[in-house]
Amino acid sequence: MVAAPTPVLDRSGRTPVMKSILILEDEAALASALAILARRMGHEATTAASAAQGLQCLQERRPDLVVLDIGLPDRNGIDVLADIREREPDLPVLVITAHGNLQNAVEAKKRGASGYLVKPLDLPELEATLRALLHEGEVEGVAAERPAAAGPAPVLIGSAAAMQPAFAAIAHACAADVPVLITGPTGIGKSLTARVIHLHSKRHAGPFVSLACASLPEHLLEAELFGHERGAFTGAEGARIGHIERAAGGTLLLDEIGEVPTSLQVKLLRVVEEKTFVRVGGREDRTVDLRIIAATNQDLGKAVAEGRFREDLLYRLRVLEVKLPPLAERVTDLPALCAYLLSDIGGDRELMLSEAALTLLRRHAWPGNVRELRNALEHAAAVCSGSVILDTHLPAELRRLTGGVPESSLLDGALHEWVDDRLRRGSDYAALHDELEGRLLAALLPRYGGKPTLLARALKLNRATLRKKLRRDGDDGAPDGAPDE
């Protein structure tokens, strides 16, 4: 389907050159909306509802831009992106997805995506991205392929909507070799995020060095950061390299950057800008090639206004920013997070959560975020003698804060067990629906004296329809031929 373009004036008052956009999207409403947007921008759009159809269109005519959905019915969009890159290495491709996660974002960048957006699409952001790709080339560079790391690599679990901007920002950070500022509340995983960025960056073969800036007094922090020469202070019997030199060729994480004293911030600024520093007690300028990632739970903008943090250092550290949301904003990720944490905590034991325990976890506010969640699960694993963690195994303080498990959780647990059993027997949705409805009606009928007419009136159902449902389940509430009233 082709949307006829309507020429429009750009901001300079000129008619832009008409471009062609190929849209690979199987959701008809969204594909139509994207085509309409392309037409309003003065371009033409061709839509394809499958990978096969889209690649055929690409073969017949090279477009100026491809909009590619990851969730196509016949193939994964990431694999289609690889095919497009093989045929057209320089063709801009904007990847969109409804199932955003870190793996998708990073893989899209590594396979050569020029942009990455998560549904539901923000119209101004989408239009700005399309204009950039059509007139200015790629929005971001492409990360080099990374060989498999030795041992398990750190991962970020979840796909909640609140995490999508963070995943996109992490993908940009993996593809670029610039300073990154990671912000978010305590216990959310800022250090883990820094490690993920390092391992997916071109510096993955270099060291990853971390320094907790709040853990040391000023004079020790300076020595740990910059290193020192022999005799620099009492007890300095020999020269020692600092974290900056240890991170040469790799990444230095400055955790809790907001705690760095202002007297050291100017020296740190020189490292960020010039990659140059002087050891404590030394006079020689030393140059080092490294990437700096900073992390904080503070509002550094407020710290700048209060004179506690240098504005120029903030600008240099915040070339890219990754904002991590609190756990309370991504409760839908709890099952995946718990499964991942329990696989680590349990060791050789296969641990799982009961429905009542998961319900309790969902109701908690999690002020300590993922760190607090791990602590709660470690406690539960320690007191649980079996393989299933019950709500009673969770910390008593957590149970008090959430007000205990609601009675509905008992129904939820029973329902989940019943559904699992029926699915194992091969039941489909229709069978599940009919059996569940039959059990509900069978439980309600005695409450109305076994009279279907009274039950139909209470439920606002047609009497004949209700009798049909009851006969289907073997109980119409009255003897054959007898009135029910």
What pLDDT is recorded for position 153? Answer: 56
Element (H, E) at 361: helix 355-363
Element (H, E) at 432: helix 429-444
What tokens were used for 299? 């509002």
What pLDDT is recorded for position 476? Answer: 56
| Identity of residue 274 | E
What pLDDT is recorded for position 9? Answer: 38
Other beta carbons less than 10 A from residue 241's beta carbon: 14
What pLDDT is recorded for position 319? Answer: 96
Question: E strands within 178-287?
Answer: 180-183, 208-212, 251-255, 276-277, 286-287
Q: Is 93 helix (H, G, I), strand (E, B) or coil?
A: strand
Question: Residues with Cβ < 8 Å from 181, sequence gap 6 or more?
Answer: 257, 293, 294, 295, 296, 300, 314, 317, 318, 320, 321, 322
What pLDDT is recorded for position 135? Answer: 64
Question: E strands within 163-232?
Answer: 180-183, 208-212
Query: How do 291-296 and 286-287 pair as beta strands?
Result: unpaired
**pTM over cut 0.85:** no
- Separation between Cα atoms, residue 288 and residue 303, nearest integer Å: 29
- Separation between Cα atoms, residue 313 and residue 42, nearest integer Å: 42
- Which residue, among 275, 226, 222, has the nearest Cα to 249 in the 3D structure? 275
What pLDDT is recorded for position 267? Answer: 93
Other beta carbons less than 10 A from residue 158's beta carbon: 21
Question: 452-459 and 429-444 are packed helices; what angle lies between their axes, rounded to 10 degrees?
Answer: 110
Q: Is 257 helix (H, G, I), strand (E, B) or coil?
A: helix
Q: Is 120 helix (H, G, I), strand (E, B) or coil?
A: coil
| Identity of residue 279 | R
Query: Please, is 434 exposed, middle or buried when counting C-beta atoms within 10 Å of its C-beta (0-12, 13-18, 19+)?
Result: middle
What pLDDT is recorded for position 466? Answer: 83
Q: From first to last of the 485 residues of the chain, give the pLDDT tens digit.
A: 444 444 433 433 444 567 899 999 988 888 888 988 888 888 899 999 999 999 999 999 999 999 999 889 999 989 999 999 988 888 999 998 876 677 778 888 888 888 888 877 777 778 878 887 886 433 332 222 233 333 455 678 878 888 888 998 999 999 899 999 999 999 999 999 999 999 999 999 999 999 999 888 888 898 899 988 877 677 767 788 899 999 999 999 999 999 999 999 999 999 999 999 999 888 899 999 999 999 999 999 999 999 999 999 999 999 999 999 999 888 888 988 998 899 889 888 888 888 888 888 988 889 999 999 999 999 999 888 778 888 888 998 887 765 444 444 445 556 666 776 777 777 888 888 888 888 888 888 887 778 888 888 888 888 888 888 887 766 555 544 444 54
Q: Are 223 and 263 in contact (CB under 8 A)?
A: no
What pLDDT is recorded for position 402? Answer: 57
Question: E strands within 327-384?
Answer: 352-353
What pLDDT is recorded for position 118? Answer: 80
Query: How do 93-97 and 115-118 pair as beta strands?
Result: parallel
Q: Are 197 and 168 in contact (CB under 8 A)?
A: no
Peptide bond into 120 cis (omega under 30): yes
- Separation between Cα atoms, residue 131 and residue 23, nearest integer Å: 15
What pLDDT is recorded for position 411? Answer: 58
- Separation between Cα atoms, residue 160 and residue 158, nearest integer Å: 6
- Separation between Cα atoms, residue 154 and residue 210, nearest integer Å: 15
- Which residue, among 32, 67, 73, 35, has the nearest Cα to 51 in the 3D structure? 73
Query: How do 208-212 and 251-255 pair as beta strands?
Result: parallel
- Separation between Cα atoms, residue 436 and residue 425, nearest integer Å: 15
